[in-house]
Structure 1
Amino acid sequence: MDGTAVGVPLRTVEIARESGYSPQQVRKLERMGVIPPAARSRNGYRAYARVHVHALRAYRGLAAAMGPVAAGALLAELRTGTVTEAAAAVSAAHVRLAREREEALRAQRALRAIQDEADTPGFEHADDAMTITELAEALQVRASTLRFWEQEGLVAPERVTSLRARRYGIEAVNAARVTAALRGAGYGIPAVREVMGALDGIDGQGEAGRILVRRLDGIAERTVALLRAGTDLAAVVAAERDPEPDPDPDPGGGRG
């Protein structure tokens, strides 16, 4: 498609105004292939169409939902694939966000469970020390993973016996449980370290909980952005499948 699928041709400044991008950004996104190439008028001006507005708005929502690189790749796929492939790509994006949300909720539940245990009478006297093998089996991770977390300062086991074997007391076990939950929720090591550092503060559980809530809020915002992009994505797909005859582009104004 040459970009002039519907209605009166639009100048660069007009499409920028309607899409919320600057003229420079519009031209850059065109060069990157995020939007279809604009047609050129007889005097060399760019002549955009409504589909370009939809593509730019869709890109804005997709970039907020999944990042600019993935957004650009998805728009390129939408323009070249079938309707079924386009729908599958968008559905996959929703699935990924739903998975992130469930993983964050799982981490949140793990934090709450640990807090409930800490509030149980007699808990502070419990002696539930575990070996590295026992803890790895309980968390369904490799022993090497626990050693890596130790190297990163996330879990601090005790060293006992002349063999310097690791012994995980209740604090180390809880730290490993939180770390496992956060890693399972997709948190990188720096983010896990932030939560673990919060747990050491005066309001440790509260601050750690707020960090997880902020992550859930961020996932919700990305989900809404993806939903908002849906209408524009549908317009892009429809224009690619059923383009209108090209008008005779000769817009006035500055060169695009």
Structure 2
Amino acid sequence: MGENLQSRTRLRPVDLARPHGLSTQAVRNYEEAGILPAAERTESGYRSYTPLHARALATFLALLPGHGHPTATGIMRAVNRGAADAAFLLIDESHAQLLEDRRTLRAVESVLRDLGPEAGESGPPGSPASTFIGPLADRLTIRPATLRKWEAAGLVRPRRDPLTGYRVYGEADVRDARLVHQLRRGGYLLEQIAPLVDQVRTAGGLAPLEAALTDWRSRLAARGRALLTGAAELDAYLHELSTPGDSP
């Protein structure tokens, strides 16, 4: 028994494409990109695939939701050239990124609890909630220079009084300053804080952010599940690659 069923079964590009709703051109593109192993050619020049190629395609598509296209492509290229360690490194990086995103989410949730109802929404310029740099710095027990540093980093955006040129912090600015202050106390760097402040601004404040955080939490859970699904498919593909006679 020289060749097993895997190597004897020959598939056309359409046989790989149809189950996934892909075009045959997409299958050829994946092969050219190294996502699929190189296919043999018939005497007339047509590509001839095997079930191993079908497994490779299914593996790549399973890796996509958790890793994204560039990383999933890198994983498959590494595996197909026999560089499993390089593929595992890419997988580790995706898991590390997911862990960092989870920590970021927890940090935002923690800050929201710490800020409480005092951090309100933005009011009109000149409203009673507006304050100046000195009183705000005293309120946060920091130096005015720290607030100016946060402003330079785009974390706080006070307006300027047209007559005096003084910085005027509205309710939203106070909210942002308190958010930054809490995160800095938690050990976060300014460049790590910037996307969190953007999340608050995009949501329109802390209250609307709650819904965004729920969605964020759901997306992280879905990504974690997708990483598991992709890992299972990749493990099956690696097993087939390591079985003698399964290579095309």
Asked if 1:134 is matched to 2:143, the reply is yes
Residue type at the aligned position of 1:156: P
Q: Which residue of 2 aligns with 1:198?
A: 203
Q: Report the more deviating stretch, 47-56 or 76-85.
A: 76-85
**Which string of whole-angstrom CA distances, capped at 9 and with x for unpartnered residues, describes residues 37-67 of structure 1?**
2111233222212222222222223322232
Q: For residue 155 of structure 1, give the secondary structure of its aligned residue in structure 2.
A: coil
1:130–1:20 CA distance, 2 compared to 1 (3 A): same
How far off its partner does 1:103 sit?
A: 0.8
Q: Report the more deviating stretch, 221-230 or 173-182.
A: 173-182
Residue type at the aligned position of 2:153: F
Counterparts of 1:46 and 1:236, CA distance in 2: 21
Q: Report the more deviating stretch, 226-235 or 170-179.
A: 170-179
Query: Taking CA–CA contacts closer than 8 Å with sequence separation of 6 or more, which of the two structures ends up with the larger relative contact order?
Result: 1
Residue type at the aligned position of 2:239: A
How far off its partner does 1:171 sit?
A: 4.9
Q: For residue 153 of structure 2, give the secondary structure of its aligned residue in structure 1.
A: helix
Contact 2:119 2:171 in 1 (8 A): no
Q: For residue 22 of structure 2, give the secondary structure of its aligned residue in structure 1.
A: coil
Contact 1:55 1:236 in 2 (8 A): yes
Residue type at the aligned position of 1:130: A
1:56–1:9 CA distance, 2 compared to 1 (3 A): same
Q: Which residue of 2 aligns with 1:156?
A: 158
Contact 1:38 1:48 in 2 (8 A): yes
1:185–1:68 CA distance, 2 compared to 1 (3 A): farther
Q: For residue 43 of structure 1, give the secondary structure of its aligned residue in structure 2.
A: coil
Q: For residue 187 of structure 1, give the secondary structure of its aligned residue in structure 2.
A: helix
Counterparts of 2:196 and 2:40, CA distance in 1: 44
Q: Which residue of 2 aligns with 1:251?
A: none
Counterparts of residues 101-120 of structure 1 (less than 5 Å) = 101-118=102-119
Q: Which residue of 2 aligns with 1:225?
A: 226
Counterparts of 2:113 and 2:79, CA distance in 1: 42
Counterparts of residues 44-59 of structure 1 (less than 5 Å) = 44-59=45-60
How far off its partner does 1:36 sit?
A: 1.4
Q: For residue 33 of structure 1, give the secondary structure of its aligned residue in structure 2.
A: coil
Counterparts of 2:158 and 2:202, CA distance in 1: 13
Counterparts of 1:95 and 1:221, CA distance in 2: 16
Counterparts of 1:185 and 1:12, CA distance in 2: 48
Counterparts of 2:175 and 2:79, CA distance in 1: 46
Which ranges of structure 2 fall in alignment gaps of 5 or more residues? 121-128, 184-189
**Which string of whole-angstrom CA distances, capped at 9 and with x for unpartnered residues, describes residues 131-152 of structure 1?**
79637769xxxx54532316xx
1:33–1:213 CA distance, 2 compared to 1 (3 A): same
Counterparts of 2:57 and 2:110, CA distance in 1: 39
Counterparts of 1:24 and 1:209, CA distance in 2: 44
Q: Report the more deviating stretch, 77-86 or 128-137.
A: 128-137
Which ranges of structure 1 fall in alignment gaps of 5 or more residues? 248-256
Corresponding pairs, count = 225
- TM-score if structure 2 supplies the norm length? 0.70
